[in-house]
A and B are shown apart, each in its own frame.
Chain A
């Protein structure tokens, strides 16, 4: 089952690679009527959305509106929560990730995630970045060295940690830790990177570095970012989805449209700060 799934994904990657620039709005993730419940409580209600490839899609909305829940249902991190129930469909390259034959472990190797609080492992910088590769079975020293350097460069962290790859990841500053977590996520070369308020625990300077980085990452990856910060969403995203209380997707459009001329009055109220 899982090899079939693997090969399906691989062939699609190859076709994507050849058509990347020609078809800018290719959908990589699509949800249809996605409902998520925690016990009896409804966290997402009938969410249908198409997330385009090689774009930054921002998800904004007030606290408790289901933004993070939506993110976690993409890479099935919700599986970790006992009381969580997911209904509806979520397609990754046309394959429903909630089908019985999908292995969440394989799925998460294609869809990386960066968390709100930087969470480097209590290991060296090198081992942090190499972790994902090692669990995927890569253990050749030279290949690992190569991949670790590439990932750290990709996360704009290489120059700062080049001489101290062996020191603990916990000794880095908060902003560096978060970039380390991004390096860790891109080391395994996923297609999509999910970011759950990646800058909310950082100071403004560190946060702006992450924003610049996201700008570069989108050349190679599809980025879905949950944020509390509307200015950030306006600055870095191509598309914006607005969730409101009750786990409802109210509006999804180009970021410029959402911020300048939203169709829904509630979105306008939220963006202009009337509630939320």
Chain B
């Protein structure tokens, strides 16, 4: 035995040329993977920079880069007008630069959509995770995920061809006696709500399925009904995942573009009438980016100010999501 150790041949761990080559390959692979990861980070930073740079020229008449090169600064649009004004018409003959109407549009759609997607999505998740048989779940879950994969423009047509004329307009006429146009806030809410149901149900269902069966059995053994177990054990134990799904759905609704543009229209206004046409921030950006406005004008640069605001809104939702996950996962392990 001892001769095996001391005869100098070793137990095959000394390595030869092949091992060195493997190490080199390893390093190359690592650099390649790192490079890919860096691309996404750089892209995010670049987008952020372009938004700020161009938004500066909306507010100060010159881009940040131009200012560094000595361009004169003039206040084109005041912050107070931008954040508190209630008329949004940067491309009008007498321009209005109050962003509130389109922020209202976006938030109204988001809140309305949440009232559709959160209850229906949560109930669907509870049904899939706690009530449905394996057979039903194996069919229903993929169907929901198909719903998530439909292009949003198709939802837009669904709204314009079905939800608005067949559902919303008849209600407006028969119940409220309002003659409605082709677009409405309500149909925007409904279509974005429907669109985000799969996001809520799918992520919530994953969180609920991850709740250990031990807990369910413990509750059933105490004489809990299925409803007790679903609402008092499974839902609280999976709350961090469930809330994460709500926040993802909400930030999706904030950033949603094509469906709301087609469903809710392009008329910036603050209104409590759900049958009125409104405009969201994204819809405004679609309108501006279509290219009828000259690049570099104040009207055109408003695009970036709105974009930056939208970016900050969705970013803060994502940060909220992260915070929430950390805060509650600690408690429920």
Contact = CB atoms under 8 A, between A and B. Distances in A.
Instruction: Tell whether A and B belong to one assembly.
Output: yes
Nearest to A128: B218
A250 to B, nearest CB: 28
B200 interface: no
Nearest to A76: B220
Contact of A122 (B217, B225, B333): B333
A105 interface: yes
Interface stretch (B82-90, B232-240, B277-285, B310-318): B232-240
B219 interface: yes
A119 B223 contact: no
B217 A131 contact: no
A82 B331 contact: no
B222 A135 contact: yes
A239 interface: no
Given A121-B215, A122-B237, A122-B333, A82 B221 contact: no
Interface string A135-169: 11000000000000000000000000000000010
A117 B218 CA distance: 10
Consensus secondary structure, chain B interface = helix
B333 A170 contact: yes
Nearest to B214: A119
A108 B225 CA distance: 10
B218 A135 contact: no
B221 A123 contact: no
B332 interface: yes
Interface residues of A, number: 29
Contacts of A188: 222-223
B132 to A, nearest CB: 12
A197 to B, nearest CB: 13
A185 B222 contact: yes
A106 interface: yes
B134 interface: yes
Given A135-B224, A185-B221, 17 more contacts: A77-B220, A80-B216, A82-B133, A105-B223, A108-B220, A112-B222, A113-B221, A119-B212, A119-B214, A121-B218, A121-B219, A122-B236, A122-B332, A123-B236, A131-B222, A135-B219, A135-B228
A-B interface, 5 closest residue pairs, ranked by CB to CB distance from nearest:
A109-B223, A132-B222, A113-B221, A119-B214, A108-B223
Interface of B: 133-134, 212, 214-225, 228, 232-233, 236-237, 331-333
13 contacts: A75-B221, A77-B221, A105-B225, A109-B222, A112-B222, A121-B215, A121-B218, A122-B236, A122-B237, A122-B333, A136-B223, A184-B222, A188-B222
